[in-house]
Amino acid sequence: MAQDRLINRRSTTYKQLDDSQRAALDGDAAVSALRQHPTLIKRPVLEWQHILLVGFSEQNTRRFLMFESMFEWIFEEENE
């Protein structure tokens, strides 16, 4: 996943960064910056079966959770 999707550009922390710090958020240095400033991480981050949902959208969260539940239910039925 591109680190760019994890960055909350609306956060107060992001707005307080200078231009060089913001530029460092692009590329490999992004992981280090996100560790130093965890409030830059867009939340929630939901992970299931290598699928990530980043940020809150009620509609997308519902779909994600329904898909997860449906898949788990089908998998359980196959193993019974």
Give CA–CA dist 47/51, Å, rounded: 6
Q: Would you call 25 exposed, middle or buried from its count of C-beta atoms within 10 A (0-12, 13-18, 19+)?
A: buried
pLDDT of 79 reads 58
> How much is the pTM?
0.67
Task: Report DSSP letters for the chain, one per residue.
Answer: --GGGGB-TTSHHHHHS-HHHHHHTSSTHHHHHHHH-GGGB-S-EEEETTEEEES--HHHHHHHHHHHHHHHHHHHHHT-
In the chain, which stretches have pLDDT less than 50? 1
